[in-house]
Amino acid sequence: MYPKKDADSPRINVLLSYSLLSSIFNISPHTGLERLKAILLESGHYCEIYDPNVDKDPDAILKRVKAGEFQIVGFSVAHSGVPNLDWQHKLMKASKNSDKRCIFVGGGEQATFNDEFWLEFGIDLLFIGFAEKMLVEFCHRLSLDPNGEICSLVEGINGVSYMNESGEKISKLRDPLTRDEFQYLSYDLILKSDTDYHKYWNHNRQRISDLRVSEKMRNSFVIEYTQLYTNSHCAWDCGFCSTSQYLRKTQADNLQVLMISAEQLYELVEVYASKYGTKLFSFCEDDFVIGNRVGKQRVMDFCEMVIEGKKDGRLDPDVGFYCQNRIDNFLERKKTSERAKIKERVVNYELLSKMGEAGWRCMSFGVETLSDKLLNCKSINKRVTSKECRAVLDAAIKLVPAPQLNLILGIPESTPEDLVYDMNAGVEYLQKGYAVQTALILGAYPGSPIYYDEKNYPRTYKKYKTPFGKTLEISDDIPPFDPLVRHACMTAKETIDSEIEKLRKFTPWKKGYFPRMMFTIINFMVVARELGRSDLEQRYMEVFQELVPKKSGSDPYRI
């Protein structure tokens, strides 16, 4: 797919690094970096990945960078990582002080949407959109001209961002990602890539064995899991979301959703299950099903193949799946009675139950709110009704063992009544068996539609001091408009960690891991208190106590 380097030109040594994560419990290989590594090796260069979350001895890798072992060092930049960029600092310092020339590069969603920030941070060159093609071409050119200036090395390469000699930012959109290119990157390369899953699984196994959880709970964690990306992007445009805009903004042409076929998807699953022993496949794209006819048919066909594969012994019957969804993926238009004049959107039970039958253990729904008003306000823009959300959620809990629901409490347009309504809905779904996850405030993500409407969606900024002493600002939150909602959600955001520390001693999870449902109910308690609703705070406290497992026998953890 991409040209190989000239046989007689030297190879380029590339080090790619993952960011240091503070609280991720189950760490897995970074698919994007693994794919870059595979393509660099295939095109004749060398690539190594250092993951500071799992790999030991960071000083040793920094020493190797400093000694000039790598000509390129790169990492994937993330908005949520700012301002905790210590690891990136160290890597950058080592590469800039390297005994030989070492170029510091970055990629990922925020390299596209916030390139100015990352160039100011000190990155020499950013790759925009799917970076494989441009990185390979850049390595070929660097190999032929090791001392070339960046602006001459990238001449004619689209999909890069850098500062020219006069300090002016130059950004060029990427060439459109083609169907063949997407399939090559997401199927061919993934099929033959060689990832050290066992390093990650052993790490996670160790972390889980350190947890103070029951044997039953420990056994319910699936260690052997693999992340796959099987389509290019979500075609929706929720107001607060940047990820769906990523590919669309990286290239000049309008982009259709690209996907690998059901057959390719099944082949990846069968190969990974037998080659690595994967037990849980997590489809990590924002919208696995893709709500159109082709997307739904792809999932139905894939499920049929899985069911057949499990029946005839090609696939372990215990292999399971997880994906993220939009509610409307599970809605279809039907006449609800003979006399009905129009078709209504009703639950697509066939699709949900087929996924359940194939082995979906978990699916998460980014509902954000169950209020009709908020579902359709500009910052959310889900274009579904509360009734439709509830119908899908109530159907999913019967067909999938562990569904998840995501809510945002501090939606800018929310009133105190809306907030109470959503917290009560959250409790209702917690009690129905959903793992409810909440965000207290909407983030101001570069790239999201409302990010570009600062007049109507004012935001807060956080300051960040670069390693070169420059102070940069980066957007942080979009606070709710209503003063009481703003006060309640912002105060909860500031105090939630200390509230959790106070309350966790009454649970079996005294330190480290703390279940998501407990976070959620504590969020509700604090927000209710700050709203001045002691009645609700008391009610949520009772739910908290119901959720805390009993000590052996019937002796509860008392509060």
Q: Which residues bind ligand SF4 (CB under 6 A)?
A: 234, 236-238, 241, 243-244, 286-287, 326, 366
CB atoms inside a 10 Å sphere around CB 78: 14
Nearest to ligand SF4 of 26, 243 (CB atom):
243
> 34 and 169 in contact (C-beta within 8 Å)?
no
Nearest to ligand SF4 of 139, 374 (CB atom):
374
Q: Tell me the closest approach of the beta carbon of residue 382 to ligand SF4, in angstroms.
A: 7
Nearest to ligand SF4 of 193, 364 (CB atom):
364
> 174 and 13 in contact (C-beta within 8 Å)?
no
Q: Tell me the closest approach of the beta carbon of residue 368 to ligand SF4, in angstroms.
A: 8
Q: Tell me the closest approach of the beta carbon of residue 326 to ligand SF4, in angstroms.
A: 4
Helix (H, G, I), strand (E, B) or coil at 344: strand
Nearest to ligand SF4 of 291, 479 (CB atom):
291
Nearest to ligand SF4 of 46, 236 (CB atom):
236
Pairing type for strands 477-478 and 160-163 reads unpaired
Nearest to ligand SF4 of 241, 259 (CB atom):
241
Nearest to ligand SF4 of 96, 383 (CB atom):
383
Cα 19 from chain centroid (whole Å): 13
Nearest to ligand SF4 of 366, 443 (CB atom):
366
Q: Where are the beta strands (DSSP E) in 142-203?
A: 160-163, 169-172
Q: Is the dihedral of CA 98, 102, 107, 112 positive or negative?
A: positive
Nearest to ligand SF4 of 142, 241 (CB atom):
241
Q: Tell me the closest approach of the beta carbon of residue 377 to ligand SF4, in angstroms.
A: 14
Q: Tell me the closest approach of the beta carbon of residue 263 to ligand SF4, in angstroms.
A: 26
Pairing type for strands 280-283 and 225-228 reads parallel
Helix (H) or strand (E) holding 105: strand 103-107
Q: Tell me the closest approach of the beta carbon of residue 235 to ligand SF4, in angstroms.
A: 8
Q: Tell me the closest approach of the beta carbon of residue 408 to ligand SF4, in angstroms.
A: 10
Q: Tell me the closest approach of the beta carbon of residue 411 to ligand SF4, in angstroms.
A: 13
In angstroms, the CA 282 to CA 532 distance is 41
Q: Tell me the closest approach of the beta carbon of residue 91 to ligand SF4, in angstroms.
A: 30
**Full DSSP string of 460-479:** -EEEEE-TTS-EEEEE-EE-
Q: Tell me the closest approach of the beta carbon of residue 227 to ligand SF4, in angstroms.
A: 16
Q: Is the dihedral of CA 369, 375, 381, 385 positive or negative?
A: positive
Q: Tell me the closest approach of the beta carbon of residue 154 to ligand SF4, in angstroms.
A: 31
Give, in degrees to the nearest 5, the angle at Cα 219 between 213 and 224: 120
In angstroms, the CA 383 to CA 430 distance is 24
State the burial class of residue 523 (Cβ atoms within 10 Å of its Cβ: 0-12, 13-18, 19+). Answer: buried
- The DSSP letter of residue 245 is G
Nearest to ligand SF4 of 244, 251 (CB atom):
244
Q: How far apart are the two ends of the chain, measured CA to CA in Å? A: 62
**Full DSSP string of 519-558:** HHHHHHHHHHHHTT-HHHHHHHHHHHHHHSPP-STT----
> 309 and 270 in contact (C-beta within 8 Å)?
yes
Nearest to ligand SF4 of 413, 530 (CB atom):
413
Q: Tell me the closest approach of the beta carbon of residue 429 to ligand SF4, in angstroms.
A: 18
CB atoms inside a 10 Å sphere around CB 351: 20
Phi and psi at residue 335, in whole multiples of 5°? Answer: -80, 130
Pairing type for strands 344-347 and 331-334 reads antiparallel
Nearest to ligand SF4 of 104, 240 (CB atom):
240
In angstroms, the CA 226 to CA 276 distance is 9
Q: Tell me the closest approach of the beta carbon of residue 364 to ligand SF4, in angstroms.
A: 10
> 83 and 57 in contact (C-beta within 8 Å)?
no
In angstroms, the CA 67 to CA 101 distance is 10
State the burial class of residue 435 (Cβ atoms within 10 Å of its Cβ: 0-12, 13-18, 19+). Answer: middle
Nearest to ligand SF4 of 379, 475 (CB atom):
379
